[in-house]
Amino acid sequence: MLLVDEIVSETDSSIVCRKSFSADEFFFHGHFPDSPIVPGVIQCECCLQAGAVLLSKASESASSTALPVATRMDSVKFKKMVRPGDTAEIEVTLNEQVSNAYYLTGKLKVAGKLAARLDFTVTMSEPEVSV
């Protein structure tokens, strides 16, 4: 499930992406049928995916098989409802790197207003080898 439609801008330590939420997104059917809003977990996932794109550039010098795995989310706040037809701007900033752990902040905005904010940690992990 891809939740990033386009990359708007990118530096070594930040990325801005966009996601347009169409009325036929699967999660609107149950959240909520008569008054659909984007679930908070989906808003968080938008930030996590934008962070993964940012880290794919930062970790190119590391192992090419390492995968970004979310290991922590803190200070998650939802400020504004996101509805069908809204286009979200997703801003993610890399705050710190310690070994293979990356500490990031994500902000999801709609029409320039903050809808969600979170601090999160991603660890670059080697995939498990199945035998």
What confidence tier does 130 reach under pLDDT thresholds 50, 70, 90?
confident
Q: How many domains does the chain have?
A: 1
Q: Quick one: pLDDT at residue 59?
A: 63
Query: Residue 36's domain is classified under what CATH number?
Result: 3.10.129.10
Residue 131 lies in a domain: no
pTM for this predicted structure: 0.93
Between 33 and 19, where is the model more confident? 19
Q: What's the token pair of residue 87?
A: 């286009």
Rounded CA-CA distance 127/25 in Å is: 30
Task: Point out the catalytic residue in the list 7, 25, 31, 119.
Answer: 31
Asked if residue 62 has pLDDT above 90, the reply is no
Residue 130 lies in a domain: no
Residue 1 lies in a domain: no
Residue 111 lies in a domain: yes
36-50 confidence digits (pLDDT tens): 999 999 999 999 999
Percentage of residues in the chain having pLDDT higher than 70? 95
Average pLDDT over residues 60-79: 87
Residue 112 lies in a domain: yes
> How far from 103 is each of 71, 84, 98, 113, 129, CA to CA, in Å?
10, 30, 8, 24, 27
Asked if residue 61 has pLDDT above 60, the reply is no
Q: Quick one: pLDDT at residue 63?
A: 60
> How far from 77 is each of 1, 8, 65, 87, CA to CA, in Å?
23, 24, 33, 19
29 catalytic per annotation: no
Neighbouring C-beta atoms of residue 63, cutoff 10 Å: 12
51: helix, strand or coil: helix
99-128 confidence digits (pLDDT tens): 999 999 999 999 999 999 999 999 999 888
